[in-house]
Amino acid sequence: MIELFESVPNFSEGRRDDVIADLAALAAPAHLLDVDADPDHNRVVITLAGSAGDLSEALLGAILVARKRIDLRAHHGVHPRIGAADVVPIVPLGDASLDRAREVAHELGEQVWTELRVPVYFYGHGEGRTLADIRAGRVPLSLGGPALHPTAGAVSIGARPPLVAFNVILYDTDLVAARALARSIRESGAGLRGVQALAFPLSGERVQLSMNLFRVDVTSPADVIAELERRGVAMGAEQVVGLCPAAAATAAASGRLLEGRLAAAAARPAARQVRLRGREEHNALADRLQKEADGLYRLAADQDEMLAGAERAAAIVRVLAAAGVTDEEVDTILLVAARGLRKAITPATAAVYKARVDALDARLG
């Protein structure tokens, strides 16, 4: 199978729809999974997946758009930033490794500097530096400099495992208290392991606790909510920014499951390939695949739905093989999605649906 990667580039634009559309349009070589813009943060998070080459091509094009259309001198938003294309993580999926993701990040960074002349910070796996180090000015540029680009700043590129960007609205809490809460809950403040946290003022006199959960196997969104409840924090709406791995999902991630979007992204081009065969039975199969894609895209963070989603993603691989439609990337994405959804199935659910889970496990090898 091919190596598959995800990237979740953060761009410093969350208000101008035309710029956001232009950034997303450059995803074409890769698979566009999600676009999540926030006007208070003045930031858009775009989720892409694909092979190393396709992903790098898409990212380079989007970073060029950001360089041309976003001027940090005129930028205002509550989220800290150093670049028009601010953060570009490379995340390994399936059998791809963090070391290989780091290689992809370095190859992309070299292109960004040599072709676009935007300075680059490398961060994350293998770099010995974090985004916090970069934003605090504690480390030098990795490529370019010493000055930042006058309008585009610099881009931080690095390899990391999957994380969940998770926000909670706080009630009856002013910004000073919210910032104290953020300091106490983050890992660096002896709080929850694998949690980074900031507090932001939003429009409408709201206060938001904004978190990155970078060790979701240790601390999930549910763990964060449990800790806030234990502390007696009054909470409002929960929000997942971008997409969430199914294994870490709470109800707030319904319709925003990474694996559901991956499976949908694979099923749609598969439907187009099948339809090109032109016969009536192929058109019927293409319609079925499109319907499956629509359902997988909206997959809920519910045990029954995630099990059914895993079964459907795995079944599409077999259906395509039977139809004589072979595409290694499509098959890889579907299997990565199915395995991720299977990982989210709890032992209790597996016991209830033992025959189905055993059949799924046999299909996934």
Residues contacting 6, CB < 8 A, separation 6+? 33, 47, 48, 49, 90, 91, 92, 93, 162, 258
Q: Return the percent helix, strand and coil in the chain, to nearest 5.
A: 50, 20, 30
Residue with tokens 């109800």: 251
N-term to C-term CA, the chain? 14
Long-range contacts at 321-326 (CB < 8 A, ≥ 24 apart): 323/274, 323/277, 323/282, 323/285, 325/270, 325/273, 325/274, 325/277
31, 75, 76, 79: the catalytic one is 79
- Is 282 considered catalytic here? no
Phi-psi region of 170 (alpha: psi -120 to 50; beta: other; left: phi over 0): beta
Q: Compute the distance between CA of residue 93 and CA of residue 57 in angstroms, rounded to an integer.
A: 18
Residues designated catalytic: 79
